[in-house]
Every structure is written in structure tokens, then in C-alpha cells.
Amino acid sequence: MTARYQVARAAGATAAGLSRLAGRGTGTQIGGRVILAIDPTAMARAAGGRELALVSGTNGKTTTRTLLVAALETVEPVVSNAGGANLPAGLTAALTADTTSRLGVLEVDEPFLPRVVEAVEPRVVVLLNLSRDQLDRYAEVRRLAGIWHDALTGPHALAVVANADDPLVVWAASAAKNVVWVAAGQGWTFDSTSCPACGDILTRDGRRGWRSNGCGLTRPTPDWSVTDRTVTAPDGSSYDVELAIPGAVNVGNAALAAAAAAHWGVAPGAAFAAMARIPSVEGRYLETSFAGRPLRLLLAKNPAGWVEALAMSRPDAPVVVSVNARAADGRDPSWLWDVPFEVLRGRHAVASGERSRDVAVRLRYAGVDHVRVDDPADALRAAHGSGPVEVLANYTAFQTFRRVVGDG
């Protein structure tokens, strides 16, 4: 351990502590930035001697990371990055704060995956999905698939656990020498209509099958398969996965996490049992109440995520749809027109958030009965009836609702 690295760690801890004292958040990001400013190699140094799994994808990173941590903690303690700190500064802060755990699980923002792979030399990389998200920051998803593909090309000893149902992920992962394919599902297919390898139109056969007639890229045969809530492992054993968190998509995430945990010898049954004890993930799926009325919080950040969140929402409950357009959300809310809000017809909705007018216009054209209420607490009160309320919100709006209900 060099003197420079020691100074960087101490300075980062001081900056993080001052940030917390000033009420500016957890201090994770500022602490990590200070560490990297003093020692740009700090992330690699902090990763030395550890066995790490990286989790990346447009949707489900935090949930899958949490599921994988639960599985690996049946073996020994695990270092991980919580609170959405998935950029290099946050990863560095997490690794330098915990100097004892040998195992680690880090969720990584998609564009930064190549840099992190090079720095920390992970044992396993888990690739979930790729879809349109914050185009003002990230550019098109085919470009992201390309940088993943390049990052996995070469003599890496790492293993890749990849979603066999997403063509973009399959092409990216095909560059790796050791891939475990998981049929984790792909509910949103509009961002993968053409082949990422040759550009030809993809031909789809049924819900999951797909093929490019131009170059022959096709859905690989999965090693792990998911049918409804049943996960079948490579040895043919099957497991009924009953999670406390909702949604078929999370059974797929659990299968990906179990496939990754298997690289450390964690049996699927033990992995799924540990995952089943997770009631919520950093506020996602949280069931709580406000002013004596039950409610549930669901996070949705892009069209693919909104499709899944709408499918999870209780069909007989009113829904609050809250959208902001800050830097962390993406400044352009035009994606609202790609979300099938028509499924809310027959239910009462409340349009809220800083872009409540955009939401209200979209709901009007979708034929959904709604009112517009900007204030989050008032929006909850405006939902019809006295039964449960479903809150669907994008990133910064979701954090606001967490504070309103006292969860963060």
C-alpha cells in the first residue's frame, strides 16, 4: 500500500464525513472523487486481492446486485456499493471503506463497464439488458453494446453471465471466452429490432427466439432457463422461486444472480432462499403507508422499466405517475410517448412531479382518467378511494417519494 493511496483514502474519508455533517448526502461520491483525484489508481489498488462480480445493464442493476450479495453472504461477508453509487467514484469509495471483505459485488453504470473491468479484473461479469435510457448522456444502445463487446475481447480470465434473450447482450457477451447463458427474459424489444453485428432485421420466433438472417447471430441455448417462476439450473434441477419483491422480471434477475453465485460454489437452493428474504431494494417495491393509507413504491426510469412497473402494479389500485427531468433522470422526457400508459384505462391516475404537465398530456391521449397534482404529498392524497395506492416514479421523483413516506 503506497503512501499516496493512504493519503487518498484518508482525504476521501474526511471529505465524505464533512459532506454528511453538512447534510449533503452520504458523502460517497465526493469521497470517491477526492480519492481518485489524489490517486487515480485507487480503485485498482482497493480491488487487489479480492474476488469481484460486476453487474451492469440498463434496468435491474441494483436489484440484481442486492440478490447476488444475499446469495454470496451465505458464504462470507461481501463488500458492495449501495445507494446508486455505480460510477467509478462510488465504486472506489465502497472498496476503500471496506478493507476486510474478500468477496465483492459492484453494480456498474453501463458506459463505465470497460474502465471498471480493466481496473478491478473481476472474476464474473453479469450482463442484464440494454435499452434506450438517457440519450442526452449515453447515445444509442448499439454503441453501448459495442463498447461492452470490445471490453470483453481478449485473454480475460473472467466469466460472463449473460441474458440470452437480449440480442444486444448476446452480441456483446459473445466476445468473451467463458459465457454462461441465462434465459432471463426481455419484455421490451423495441430497442433490439436490428442485429447489432450486421445491421440486418432480426427475425423473432415466439416470445424469446430471435435470429439474424444476415450473419446468423441467434439466441444461444440457455444454460439456465426461466419459465414463469420456475428456474432450471444446468444440471436439470428446478426451483420454484418465490421472492418477496414482485414481478416476473425479478425471477429472471434472480436466475442471473444465482448463475453468478454458482461460480463461488453457492447452491441454487441456498441462493434463492437467501434472495427470498429481501423485502425491498433501496425503496424499490417498498410497501408502506401515508396518512394511514397503504401504498407501494415502484421505480421506473425508461420505457423498458415502465413496461415492467406497469405490469407489476395492482390492477385495481389508483396510481400516481411522477416524472422529473433532472440530470440523473435525463433531461428529455419524450420517452413518455413510448410507454403504453393505455393499460391504465379504467383506473384513476394522478400526474405528478416536475414534468406533471407532460405526464398529464400523455395520460390524456392514452384515455386515462387523471388529475394533475405537483406536490408529492398532495398527489398521494388526491388518489381516489381509501385502498392501496401504487406510486410509479422515475429516479429523482422516486427519491422524493421515499422522503415523503419516511424511507430515506
Which residues, at least 6 apart from 212, have a Cβ–Cβ distance to it below 8 Å? 167, 195, 197, 198, 200, 201, 202, 203, 218
- Find the mean pLDDT for residues 319-324: 97
Residue of higher predicted confidence among 154 and 406: 406
Same domain flag for 268 and 295: no
Same domain flag for 268 and 293: no
Distance from C-alpha of 321 to C-alpha of 299, rounded to nearest angstrom: 10
Domain that holds residue 165: 41-275
Same domain flag for 263 and 350: no
Same domain flag for 105 and 200: yes
Distance set, CA 58 to CA 47, 102, 296 (Å): 24, 27, 23
Domain assignment present for 30: no
What is the number of other CB atoms lying within 10 angstroms of the CB of residue 295?
23
Q: What is the pLDDT of residue 155?
A: 76
Q: Amino acid letter at 390?
A: E
Please say if the pLDDT value at position 403 is more than 80. Answer: yes
Q: With the C-alpha atoms ordered 47, 48, 50, 51, is the resulting torsion angle positive or negative?
A: positive
Domain assignment present for 383: yes
Q: What is the pLDDT of residue 84?
A: 79
Q: Where does the pLDDT of residue 135 fall: very low under 50, low under 70, confident under 90, or very high at 90 and above?
A: low
Residue of higher predicted confidence among 205 and 383: 383
Domain assignment present for 297: yes
pTM metric for this prediction = 0.94
Same domain flag for 106 and 203: yes
Q: For the ranges 24-33, 258-267, 319-328, 386-395, which has the lowest average pLDDT?
A: 24-33
Domain assignment present for 226: yes
How many domains would you assign to the chain? Answer: 2
Helix (H) or strand (E) holding 225: strand 224-227
**Domain boundary pick from 240, 275, 310:** 275
pLDDT in tens, 259-276: 999 999 999 999 999 999
Helix (H) or strand (E) holding 357: helix 356-366
Q: What is the pLDDT of residue 138?
A: 56
What is the number of other CB atoms lying within 10 angstroms of the CB of residue 206?
6
Half-sphere exposure of 4 (CA within 13 A, CB side): 9
**Domain boundary pick from 275, 304, 337:** 275
- Find the mean pLDDT for residues 131-144: 74
Domain assignment present for 25: no
Q: What is the pLDDT of residue 134?
A: 65
Same domain flag for 226 and 306: no
Residue of higher predicted confidence among 236 and 134: 236
Residue found by looking up cell 465502497 in the block: 94
Domain assignment present for 394: yes
Please say if the pLDDT value at position 137 is more than 60. Answer: no
Same domain flag for 121 and 263: yes
Q: What are phi and psi of 204, to 5 degrees?
A: -105, 135
pLDDT in tens, 357-398: 999 999 999 999 999 999 999 999 999 998 999 999 999 999
- Find the mean pLDDT for residues 3-8: 90
Domain assignment present for 233: yes
Same domain flag for 249 and 369: no
Same domain flag for 168 and 57: yes
Please say if the pLDDT value at position 136 is more than 60. Answer: no
Same domain flag for 76 and 177: yes
pLDDT in tens, 85-127: 999 999 999 999 999 999 999 999 999 999 999 999 999 999 9
Please say if the pLDDT value at position 132 is more than 60. Answer: yes
Q: What is the pLDDT of residue 275?
A: 98
What CATH number does the domain containing 142 carry?
A: 3.40.1190.10
Distance from C-alpha of 305 to C-alpha of 163, rounded to nearest angstrom: 16
Q: What is the pLDDT of residue 281?
A: 95
Q: How would you classify the pairing of strands 209-212 and 202-205?
A: antiparallel
Q: What is the pLDDT of residue 374?
A: 95
Please say if the pLDDT value at position 279 is more than 90. Answer: yes
Distance set, CA 205 to CA 127, 177, 209, 212, 222 (Å): 23, 27, 5, 11, 16
Residue 120, classed as helix, strand or coil, is helix
Domain assignment present for 31: no
What CATH number does the domain containing 337 carry?
A: 3.90.190.20
- Find the mean pLDDT for residues 318-339: 93
Q: What is the pLDDT of residue 207?
A: 66
Q: What is the pLDDT of residue 19?
A: 84
393 neighbors 305 (Cβ within 8 angstroms): no
**Domain boundary pick from 209, 240, 275:** 275
Same domain flag for 361 and 238: no
Q: For the ranges 20-24, 168-172, 208-212, 335-339, which has the lowest average pLDDT?
A: 20-24
- Find the mean pLDDT for residues 324-353: 94
Same domain flag for 171 and 305: no
